[in-house]
Amino acid sequence: MTPWLVAVAQAALLALAAPLVVGVTRAVPARLAGRAGGRIAQPWRDLCKQLRKQPTSPADASMFFVAAPAVMMATSLIVAATGPFIAATSLFGGADLIVVVGLLLLGTVALALAGLDTGTAFGGMGASRAMVIAALVEPTLLLAVFALSFRVGSTDLSRIVAAGATEPARVFTPASLLAAAALAIATLAETGRIPVDNPATHLELTMVHEAMVLEYSGRDLALVEWAAALRLSILLGLLANLFAPWGVATSLDPMWLAVGAAVFIGKVCGLAALLSAGEVWTAKLRLFRVPELLAGSFFLGLLAVLASAILA
């Protein structure tokens, strides 16, 4: 199969599976709490319903508000297409770690500008909080994966994953464990999960992501929610493949790709279940305690980089 086809297939797979992963993160806590909960496919139904509805723009909003959902979706799709999710082969050289972090950040920035563009206090509040969290998360993300790139000598995510898949001994190093912890915290913050943000909150004052997107409706909201779900899958997928790189296809053989896809979905759903089960026992942190958590993860990342540089 050609690299192009693989990239498109990978993006399509992630885009289709992302709402289901969100469904898993909602179903697991519901079962643990003794509720029936929605179906796993419920996020997909919501998306389809919202996609049909008319979008509205606030009276004072400009092009930034209109463009943000598309930008967020596009950056997520590019990362989904080029990242090492089902196949760890350099597709277009686009799976560079720094590029991936930059693209995800670009999506966050677009949404934050849209939040400010609405001119409401909620939009500004959400944007301000989301950007502060992003400012502290992105360095962590960069450092954590950088720790892994030191041993490979490249920031190409596919190479890092492929190196891990072929030499499992590389995965279990102190640097790797520190980086995994840092990346896990960064993933929680980046995807707006407890304890950083509560995706199910209905109280505006505690919102981060939800406050920022409060003015979106119809297909705009669908795109934002879909892109957010896609980012959750992307980050969980990166976490899974960087620290458990088994089952990733290292060639473009269709059979291995099919295996890779199946294993990948399994890994991401497993991580999503684990994540949401953890949320049942955790309370959301006060907003101004969040930086302490993120500073902690930043230092974990720094230690990981130092460890991998010194022990390399």
Partner 1 sequence: MNPIAAGLAATTGLAMCASVAAIGTPSRWRARVVGVLTAVSGTAGVAAGIAAVTGIGWRAELPGVLPLAGLTLDADALSGWFLVIVGAVTTVVGIYTIGYAGGDGRGPGSGTSLTVLPVFTAAMALVPVAGSVPTLLAVWELMAVASLLLVLTEHRHRAAVRSAGVWYAAMTQAGFVALLVGLLWLAAATGSVSFAGIRSAAGHLPAAVTGAVFLLCLAGFASKAGAVPLHPWLPRAHAEAPSHVSMLMSAAMVKLGVYGILRVGFDLLGGGPRWWWLVVAALGALSALYGIMQAAVAGDLKRLLAFSTSENIGLILLGIGFTGVLAHAGNTLAAGLAMTAVLLHTVNHAAFKTLLFAGAGSVVRATGTRHLDQLGGLVRPMPVTTAFVATGALAAAALPPGNGFVSEWLLLQAFLHPGQGADTALTIAAPLAVAVVALTTGVAVVTFVKAVGTGFLARPRSDCAARAVESPASMLTAMGVAAAGCVALAVVPALATPALTRVLAGLQLGGTPVNREVLGLHLAGTAASVRPLWLAVGIVAVTGTVAVTARSLGRARRRAIAWDCGDGPLTARMEYTATSFAEPLQRVFDDVLAPERDIDVTHDTESAYHVAAIRYHQQIPDRIENRLYRPVVDTVAAVGTRARALASGSVHRYLAYMLVALVVVLVAGVIR
Number of residues in the chain: 312
| 206 sits near partner 1 (criterion: CB under 8 A) | no
Q: Which of 44, 122, 243, 264 binds partner 1 (CB under 8 A)?
A: 122
| 225 sits near partner 1 (criterion: CB under 8 A) | no
Q: What minimum distance in Å lies between the beta carbon of 174 and partner 1?
A: 14
The number of CA neighbours under 13 Å toward the Cβ of 229 is 28
Q: Which of 42, 128, 201, 250 binds partner 1 (CB under 8 A)?
A: 128
DSSP assigned state of 52: H
| 219 sits near partner 1 (criterion: CB under 8 A) | yes
CA dist., res. 119 & res. 287, Å (int):
22
Q: What minimum distance in Å lies between the beta carbon of 43 and partner 1?
A: 17
When the beta carbons of 38 and 58 are compared against partner 1, the nearer one is: 58
Site for partner 1 in 49-78 (CB under 8 A): 51-64, 66-67, 69-71, 73-75, 77-78
Binding span for partner 1 by CB under 8 A among 135-143, 182-190, 244-252, 261-269 = 135-143
The number of CA neighbours under 13 Å toward the Cβ of 60 is 8
CA dist., res. 114 & res. 137, Å (int):
20
Phi, psi of 246 (to 5 degrees): -95, 145
State the CB neighbour count (10 A cutoff) for residue 48. 11
Phi-psi region of 34 (alpha: psi -120 to 50; beta: other; left: phi over 0): left
| 28 sits near partner 1 (criterion: CB under 8 A) | no
CA dist., res. 200 & res. 1, Å (int):
41
| 99 sits near partner 1 (criterion: CB under 8 A) | yes
Binding span for partner 1 by CB under 8 A among 25-33, 126-134, 186-194, 195-203 = 126-134
When the beta carbons of 37 and 119 are compared against partner 1, the nearer one is: 119
Site for partner 1 in 241-260 (CB under 8 A): none
| 190 sits near partner 1 (criterion: CB under 8 A) | no
Q: What minimum distance in Å lies between the beta carbon of 98 and partner 1?
A: 5
Site for partner 1 in 293-312 (CB under 8 A): 295, 298, 301-302, 305-306, 309-310
| 223 sits near partner 1 (criterion: CB under 8 A) | yes
Phi-psi region of 119 (alpha: psi -120 to 50; beta: other; left: phi over 0): left
Q: Which of 131, 178, 212, 248 binds partner 1 (CB under 8 A)?
A: 131
CA dist., res. 40 & res. 241, Å (int):
24
CA dist., res. 124 & res. 113, Å (int):
9
State the CB neighbour count (10 A cutoff) for residue 93. 10
